[in-house]
Amino acid sequence: MAYRSELPVLYLNPLEHGGKTFIRIWYKPNPFVSKRLKEASWIRYSKTYKCFVMHRSNQAIEMLHRHFQDLAKVDSRYLHRPRRLRPEQGAVILRESGAGTEPLEKLPRRPIVRLQPLEYGGKTLVQLSYPYDKVIYACLKRSKTARWLPQMQCFVTVTDSGSLLTLLSEMEPVAQLWLAQAIQIRDMALQVRLWEQVYRKGDGYLSCPIPYLEKLYLLNYSLSTIRTYHSLLLRFLNSYKERGLEAINLFSEEEINTYHRQMVQAGTYSCSLVNQSINAVKFYYQRVLLRHEVRLNQVERPGRPECLPHVLSKQDVAKILSATENPKHRCLLQLLYAGGLRIGEVINLKITDVQSGRNLLLIRGGKGKKDRTTLLSQRLLECLRAYYKQYKPKVWLFEGQAGGQYTVESIRNVFRASKEKAGVKAQATPHTLRHSFATHLLEQGTDLRYIQALLGHKSSKTTEIYTHVTTHAMEKIISPLDSL
């Protein structure tokens, strides 16, 4: 791999410490590189090893690439250097051509300005909050739409889309706007600008067609699905931007099939992502362009591997919950396990959804926008009452320090810290608690149909996967080797 000589290079090396694998970052002394490393929240300087280190994960490496996009190159060739003549995982020969490379270049990382609703004087405004920065402050002072509110000691703007579009144009050179979950955008032109503010708009850049998003909203697709479809269609369009949008709109089924075949051959995308891309592109041609003569239902789809879910033992779950000292954090994790909830369902819970009189928890607008009820543990109810007396949330069951809904990333951070503190080595995420809930119920003898209803699965086949990971009745089966 060759690098341009004018840019410094960061070399990534494996580092073993305390039974865990980290990444050691080595580079030739450079004050600008050192300053940028200190600005990265996921990177720490180790006094023991006299170097900068970070956790070894694909996300951390990707963040490092983006963080140094304009300053240095990241070389990870030594990170994956084989230690044995016969590698345990074998070898994969990937396509040599540029197929599968990212057609969208992201801008260097910029400070975040958070937008959240603010009630003031009987009106709903949009509050702008950010870690103090002279450049951002000066930009907001010059803004045509933002104004300083002395009573609340913050900058605010009104809630109409025109003002937010103006603010976005003013702030784009210095900061990135981030919307709180409580703010819902109905103007598709504004939504496109917000989602695409992270990309570098070079020559020929193709933005996502607004009718595409309007159609998705009209058909009541979830926001997460719309955002996923948007990013995947954007990638498809900009892979052929030199041919222009009119030519892309006339693509044949074979050209679309070739694009997705190249994604598979690139070896860097999961089968799930490729299938989502096929759905996103298919929706564009069939539902927006009305190209029914193109039989896109014949597009080749990669077979999705049938992976078993990760499940924690009851002992590991107890360790994680016991290691969580903060009452709010403990209730969050208990809800994930005690009711089999998804992260999004937890943060969307309102105080009125806890129906203690019926020992039920009401889940509104779960996956697929379906309502359901699930178990409300008595032990959890006691913890929730103690939490409520201490924190006194107003609307949402779990609210952030500045009010409003709790965030998904905060729950992930809470789980990660509790798991590490508990010393649990098993691979797990917050969603693993949902898998563990279903598996432990099955091991207790609960009927699969009830588990399906509690989890909110549309098909019983989805729930049946837990029969493959449960130890229920497995202990009674004797291996033929033991009977010899």
Catalytic residues: 342, 367, 431, 434, 457, 466
Answer yes or no: are the C-beta atoms of 400 and 328 closer than 8 Å: no
3-state helix, strand, coil in the chain (%, to 5): 45, 15, 40
- d(CA 484, CA 231) in angstroms, rounded, equals 58
- How many whole angstroms from its chain centre is CA 336? 17
Would you put residue 52 in left (φ > 0), alpha (ψ -120 to 50) or beta? beta
Closest among 167, 165, 157, 61 to 116, alpha carbons compared: 157
What's the burial of 336, exposed, middle or buried (CB within 10 Å: 0-12/13-18/19+)? buried
- d(CA 278, CA 284) in angstroms, rounded, equals 10
Closest among 3, 177, 108, 114 to 402, alpha carbons compared: 114
DSSP string of 211-231, one letter each residue: HHHHHHHHTT--HHHHHHHHH
Torsion of CA 423, 429, 434, 438, to 10 degrees: -70
- Give every strand in the sheet of 147-149, ordered side by side: 147-149, 154-157, 123-129, 112-120, 176-179
Taking each helix axis as running N to C, give the angle between helix 408-422 and helix 327-338, from 0 to 180 degrees, rounded to the nearest 10.
90
Token pair 């320090």 is found at 401
Q: Token pair of 74, please?
A: 């990241």
Answer yes or no: are the C-beta atoms of 7 and 68 closer than 8 Å: no
3-class DSSP assignment, residue 51 = strand
Residue type, 60: A
Token pair 């779950």 is found at 317
Answer yes or no: are the C-beta atoms of 284 and 294 closer than 8 Å: no
- d(CA 185, CA 159) in angstroms, rounded, equals 10
- Rg of the Cα atoms in the chain: 25
